[in-house]
Each structure stands twice: as C-alpha cells, then as structure tokens.
Structure 1
Amino acid sequence: MHRPALALVLMASAANAQTPELISADDPEGLVAYLEAEGYSAEILSGVDGNPRILTEARGLRFNIFLRLCVDHANCQAMQFDTSFHLSAPLPLEQLNEWNGKQMMGLAAVTDDNWALLSHPLITTGGLPEPIFAATLGWWMYQMEEYGRYIGYITEDEAGQASSSASQ
C-alpha cells in the first residue's frame, strides 16, 4: 500500500474511533448525568464538610459518592463511594478484620451505634475513561451486596432488592 493511501486509512480509522467519555470528581453534574443514564437515581447535595456529595441508588442499594480533595468545595480530585447498614447488634471486630483482610475493594468499619460502614476511594485526577469508571461502579455495587450478606443484613432472598442507607 502506498504511503498516502495508508495515511488515509489510518485517518479514517482514527475518525471512526470514539474517545471514551471521562468521568471525574471535578464534574459533579457530569457524574450525575452518567449515573442517571445508567439507571441510577442521583442528586447533588452538600456534604458535612461543604464539598459536594451525590446521593444515588440502584437495585435497592443507596449510597453516597463524596467528592474529595476539593479546593473551595470545587475542582475535586477524588471521590469516595460510601454506604452504611444499621444493625440490631454490634458487629464483632474480628468479622470486620476478616472482611478487610480478604477484600481489595470496600473498606469496612463500624460505629458505636451499630452502623456497619463500607467505603471505597477513587482518584479521578484528569478523569477516568467511562469503561474504567463503569467497571469500578459495577464492582462497588457487587461489594455492597456481598458486604450486606457478609454482615447478615441481606439474605439470599433479598439479593438484588437490598436496602442500605446513605443518610449518614
């Protein structure tokens, strides 16, 4: 193939390739639009620290996406997925340690008033390609259900219809 013809083929291929959308903590409105397009409910609220947070829900699991590493409550460089389950009895520290020792995603903690917490930070400086963010969000949804089962909050019958709280 001649060089000009090769150049035309390469230019046509590049023109047809789609650049993935970037998802970033510095664009809360874009994050909400992405979540809603994927079937999540999503609302921008203000966190206790004044930084934006997004309250979202899908498949009966409600969670926050806290925007972190912000300058004057804007230009945020990270986000943190966060949910909680209220338990009727304290969760043993050994059970939390076991979860945290075996999981790559979803750090577990517990409060004195029996809230079982789960969180996962994500640096988004410069933006994450949509497929990477989608995969991370999918894993987060999976981890929330798994954690709910692990602590006895979600039964097998309730899987996919779980209920968690993100009000804290």
Structure 2
Amino acid sequence: MVKKKNFSDNSKSTDFVNSLPESTIETSKIEKRCKFNLSYFDGAQTAGQDFSGWSYNSGNASLTNLLAKFKEYTLQPLNYWKNQRVGGGGLKVLEYYGDFPDNSDFKHPKHVPADAHWARFRLGNKVRLVGFVISKDALKNMPEEEQEKFCHNTFYVVFLDKDHKFYKTETA
C-alpha cells in the first residue's frame, strides 16, 4: 500500500494556495468601477497646468496625489462619488455642472464635444480635476443599440486646475 503524503504542513503549497487570485473577471465587479480617460486632456490653457508642472509639485496639486486619487476613485462607480462629501463645507467629491460654466478662466476646447456634461473631482482645498462625462440626455436621439456603445461610468479628464479657476463661483 502506498502511503499518501500530507501537504497540510507544507509551507510552499500553503504559500502557493494563498497566492492564487480571489476572483475572476465575472465575479470581480470590474464593470462597476469608474474609469478615467485622458484622450481629451488640454494642458495648454494658461488657467490650467500640464502633467509636467504637477510632477514638481507636492501636496494636493502633485502627480503623486493625482495618481493616488485615481486609484481611490476607481474603486467605485462615478455615482458613488457624487454622493460623497469632503472638506469643511461639505462639498461633493464629484460635482456635475452640465454646461461649460460662464464664469471660468478656461475656454471650452474645440476638441471636446459641444454637448459634453462638465464635471469636476475635488482633489483637495482649491485643487480640481476637471472634465466631462457622457450624459444619457446627450444620447436620447440615438437608437438604443447605439446608446449602449457609450460608457456612463467614464470621466474624461480635460483640465488640471490647482487654483480653482474652472468654476469660479463655487466655494473653495
């Protein structure tokens, strides 16, 4: 008779089992996590900054903070962040504006769709990440099968705003 090996005390097999992924794409809820798209980014306007300018900053207007916020924000859908509040005044983490604001030091870039639904993430104090989302209202005249091609859980980054110059009537 062959004696069976006991692997319960084998640290290599235990380490291997503990290293296996806990979920699959199907069970990971990846479809609920928001995404950031940088293809509409405009770092050329004088009111804003580009990424190279933020690479030398520290604090809220730094690339390190921006990437940490990307990591934090992508754990949840966009709708989650519109209901979360931060700061002493209780401002929302994600605020939807709709139209491009009248009182802004920025200009609506030509490469950004006219019907973009403008929004911002509050990164801290006066620092904002400005961009847009695709609203369902913008697609209402399309056939339903065409509407399904668009993601409503993607934030299209357009501006880095360290000095709160995009929507100037909002309290910093």
TM bracket (short chain): under 0.3
User: TM (normalized to structure 2)?
Assistant: 0.22
Structure label with greater radius of gyration: 2
**Which structure has greater strand proportion?**
1
User: TM (normalized to structure 1)?
Assistant: 0.23
**Which structure has greater helix proportion?**
1
